[in-house]
Amino acid sequence: MGGLNIQGQYREPRMALDKIVQAPPQAVFLDIQMPERNGIELAERILQEHPDTAIIFVTAYDEYAIKAFELNALDYLLKPIQYDRLQKTIERLFKSRPPQPASVLQAGREPVTIRWKTVKGQEVFAFLLHHRGTVVKKQVLLDQLWPDIDWKKGITQLYTTVYPIRKTLNEEGLAIQIVNCDEGYLLEMNGTRLDVSEWEAALDGAPELTGETVDGHLRLSQQYRGDYLADHHYRWAETERSRLRGKFLQHAHRLARCRSTISIGILPRSACTFQKKSGRKQKAVLRGFRRLAEQL
């Protein structure tokens, strides 16, 4: 089809994975049933190596549709494939863009990924950012981040950690400031925005999910690139992590039920209970996917 450059075609999943790792393509079309390893497993390995790769499943089996949510599949094509349906997938591929790697946004400039000098400095900043706009007592920071050392040593560690954070923020040219305040610290954003806040605000302000608005809702779903601070597994972030995941899952349920398009989004692996809550509901969703595929 016009605009596509096919880098390779493979029958063996192992050979395909080797080639994809060496020269990552923008998109990979995968069958589900393959020798040695199925398409779901291969997609997981591809995304581990190259998270921005678009995955399109091509299969005769609709029971894998829910699993496709977990992998952020761009689309899910049922055999036999109709030309018009494939053309829509290609159009969606051209419109899709890899996610921005940064988590801090500032008005008037590109998103910024902050590279911290120490792991502890990163966590202190993350904790203050988590509580942005409110005073965080030094004792709270010590209890959360230095629970096993005495107060005097902890304060020394805190002071020697906060100074490099301020220096890094200044070097990055960010407007974020850490202000000494009332036996603690106050992180002021000063116009700097966060991707997670932007996503939640867009979700809360999104129009009603209908056939006309489903593409916008799909883009919102695809912007959820994993759980809040998932790479760090901070215990103190678990409540917020669960809250945001819940909002995403509610939205994903609504997308899955929408009959206007095959809306493939993403589900974090920790949310697999979605598949297990109601077998009847799951079958209804899958039947919906099949009918929509036939219509589109």
List of long-range contacts for 81-86, beta carbons under 8 Å, 24+ apart:
84/296, 85/293, 85/296, 86/1
Residue type (1 letter), 194: L
Between CA 129 and CA 172 the distance in angstroms is: 16
pLDDT at residue 137, as a whole number:
95
Is a pLDDT exceeding 90 seen at residue 131? yes
Q: Distance between CA 92 and CA 14 in Å, rounded?
A: 28
Q: DSSP states of 212-240 as a string? A: TTHHHHHHHHHH--SSTTTTTT-GGGHHH
Please give the residue that has the higher pLDDT: either 174 or 5: 174
Going across the sheet that includes 27-31, the strands are 27-31, 54-59, 75-78
* Whether residue 294 has pLDDT greater than 50: no
**Does 276 score more than 50 pLDDT?**
no
CB atoms within 10 A of CB 7: 13
Inform me whether the pLDDT recorded for 273 exceeds 50. Answer: no
Mean per-residue pLDDT of the chain: 77
Give the residues across from 118 on adjacent strands.
none
Find where tokens 């829509």 sit: 88
Q: Categorize the per-residue pLDDT at 242 as very low, low, confident or very high, splitting at 50, 70 and 90.
A: very high
**Dist CA 109 CA 129 (whole Å):** 20
CB 224 within 8 A of CB 203: no
The pair of structure tokens assigned to 146 is 């230095």
DSSP H or E run through 135: strand 135-137
Smallest CA-to-CA distance from 112 within 41, 172, 182, 181 is with: 172
**CA–CA distance, 121 with 161 (Å, rounded to integer):** 6
Rg (CA), the chain: 22
| Whole-angstrom distance, CA of residue 179 vs CA of residue 133 | 11
Of the candidate ranges 70-79, 101-110, 151-160, 274-283, the one whose mean pLDDT is the lowest: 274-283
Least confident of 16-20, 48-52, 292-296: 292-296
Amino acid at 265: G
Report CA-CA distances (Å) from 24 to 16, 41, 47, 132, 286.
Answer: 11, 17, 10, 38, 31
CA angle 64, 202, 235 (to 5 degrees): 70
Give the pLDDT band (50/70/90) at residue 1.
low
Which residues have C-beta within 8 Å of that of residue 118, sequence separation ≥ 6? 161, 164
CA–CA distance, 198 with 158 (Å, rounded to integer): 30
